[in-house]
Every structure is written in C-alpha cells, then in structure tokens.
C-alpha cells in the first residue's frame, strides 16, 4: 500500500518528469527554453493540482510570473506558494466558489500573447472545481445536471461527455482561450484508460464527443426530461447546429 501511495504522490510525479537545467525546462524528452518567454503562468485545478503547483514553484521559483490553481475546500494541508494563489472550491457538486475561481484565473491570463508560456495543471476533480456554465444556463442548472448524473450510475466518461457541452472551459475551450500562448498541460489521471479528454473534462484537450453523444447519455439514464429546461434547450440547439 505504501508503494502505491508513493507512486500516486503528485509532488513525486512532478519531480520524476520535470527537470530544470539552467534556463531549460525538461518535461521528459521535451525542452522549453524559459528565456524565450516573456511571462510564465501556472493555472489549473483538481484534487491533486495544488500539490502539483507547490512542486512546480519549488522547481521554477522566480521564473513564474504568477499563477492561480483551484483546489478542493477540504484539502489539508493547504499548499503554500509565493507566486501561485490557491482558490478553494467545492467538490463533487460545483458552487459559486468554483465560478469565482475560474473567472479569477481567466482574468490572470486575459492579455495572453504568443510570447507567454502557460503551464496548466489538471487532475481528477477539476470538472467540479472549475465550473463556468455556457451562455443560456446558470450554475444551479449545471449543478443539477451534475447531481443527476452522479446518482444515475453513469460512468465518468459519460458524465464528462455531458459536462463538456455545458461549460465555457471544458472540452478544450480553456486551450482556445489561451491561444496564441504556448500551453504545457501536466495531467495526473484518475480515469481508467487515461483518456485525457475525460480527465477533469479535458480543459485543454480536443473533444471527440458531440451533442448527439450528450443526448444518448441523458436518454440512456432517463435524464432527458429531468435535467433543467434551459440545459435541455442548450443541448437541443447544439443538436440542430445553431
């Protein structure tokens, strides 16, 4: 058991895969010359992302311009850093704390440019910790959908298929907002098969799912008419291509 816990330790995983040689950041065999970037940001969220961020700051120190990572409000001990802020949010049901945290994160990188490097730390739990509903629904609608899915027996892949289509940052939409910066995403998986588009609903990963897939999941578990009307309207518009 101790070996298993050690293997899953976020700080240990970061130390194993990231090295700094002078001004060169090595991520396994990929190199990032830090001097080439005007600014370096660290953002993200998840149950392990706080400890990932803590280790990143130990490694990069003053190379980091600023950062903001969303962590569970029950996490103890709370990670501590000088250049990275930690915002606590709720898990597994999203609340306003998460929305406020995501908005603060987006403000941090609002004027991003091609001369910047953004390190995105993603881990399990990020879906609930980083909510930002699409236009047409509110947080209560998103929370209701999440609650219904969690109680339905749907798999995590199926749950995240739905959540990605009701979010402004899931399903690769965070990556869109970070363009044209260089984006380095570091992911710790809690999903069987390690599908990166499913871990925390893949904020920087291409989304292979469609609104039709969302409809299939909701009808499979008899949730189509249980979800809020506004959420169903968003999905219906997506199905029609509007």
How far apart CA 168 and CA 131 sit, in angstroms, is 8
For residue 38, what pLDDT is reported? 98
- Average pLDDT of the chain? 95
pLDDT tens digit string along 23-61?
999 999 999 999 999 999 999 999 999 999 999 999 999
* Other beta carbons less than 10 A from residue 143's beta carbon: 20
Tens of pLDDT, residues 61-110:
999 999 999 999 999 888 888 999 999 999 999 999 999 999 999 999 99
C-alpha span between 8 and 160 (Å, rounded) = 23
User: How many CB atoms lie under 10 A from the CB of residue 157?
Assistant: 16
pLDDT digits (tens, 9 = 90+) for 132-166: 999 999 999 999 999 999 999 999 999 999 999 99
The whole-number average pLDDT for the span 1-26 is 85
Q: What is the pTM of this model?
A: 0.94
Residue 219 and residue 172: Cα distance in Å, rounded? 25
Would you place residue 190 in the very low, low, confident or very high pLDDT band (cuts 50, 70, 90)? confident
Reply yes or no on whether the pLDDT at 7 is more than 80.
Answer: no
Q: What residues contact residue 91 under an 8 Å CB cut-off, 6+ apart?
A: 47, 72, 73, 74, 125, 128, 129
Alpha-carbon distances, residue 58 vs 52, 75, 108, 151, 222 (angstroms): 10, 20, 21, 40, 48
Token pair of 209 as six digits: 């799912």
Residue 41 backbone phi and psi in degrees, to 5: -110, 150
pLDDT band at residue 196 using 50, 70 and 90 as cut-offs = very high
pLDDT value for 5: 53
pLDDT reported for residue 242: 58
């Amino acid at each position: 058991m101790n070996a298993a816990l050690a293997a899953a330790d976020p700080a240990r995983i970061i130390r194993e895969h990231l090295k700094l040689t002078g001004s060169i950041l090595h991520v396994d065999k990929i190199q990032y010359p830090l001097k080439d970037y005007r600014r370096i940001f660290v953002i993200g969220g998840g149950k392990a992302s706080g400890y990932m961020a803590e280790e990143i700051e130990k490694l990069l120190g003053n190379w980091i311009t600023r950062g903001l990572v969303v962590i569970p409000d029950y996490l103890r001990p709370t990670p501590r850093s000088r250049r990275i802020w930690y915002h606590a949010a709720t898990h597994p049901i999203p609340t306003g704390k998460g929305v406020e945290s995501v908005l603060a994160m987006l403000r941090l990188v609002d004027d991003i440019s091609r001369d910047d490097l953004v390190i995105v730390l993603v881990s399990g739990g990020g879906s609930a910790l980083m909510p930002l509903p699409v236009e047409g629904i509110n947080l209560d609608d998103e929370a209701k959908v999440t609650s219904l899915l969690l109680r339905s027996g749907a798999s995590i892949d199926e749950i995240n298929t739905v959540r990605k289509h009701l979010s402004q940052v899931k399903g690769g939409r965070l990556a869109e907002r970070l363009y044209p910066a260089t984006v380095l995403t570091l992911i710790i998986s809690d999903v069987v098969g390690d599908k990166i588009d499913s871990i925390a609903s893949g904020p920087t990963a291409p989304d292979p799912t469609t609104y039709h897939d969302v409809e299939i999941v909701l009808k499979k578990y008899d949730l189509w008419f249980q979800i809020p009307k506004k959420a169903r309207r968003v999905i219906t518009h997506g199905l029609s291509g509007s």
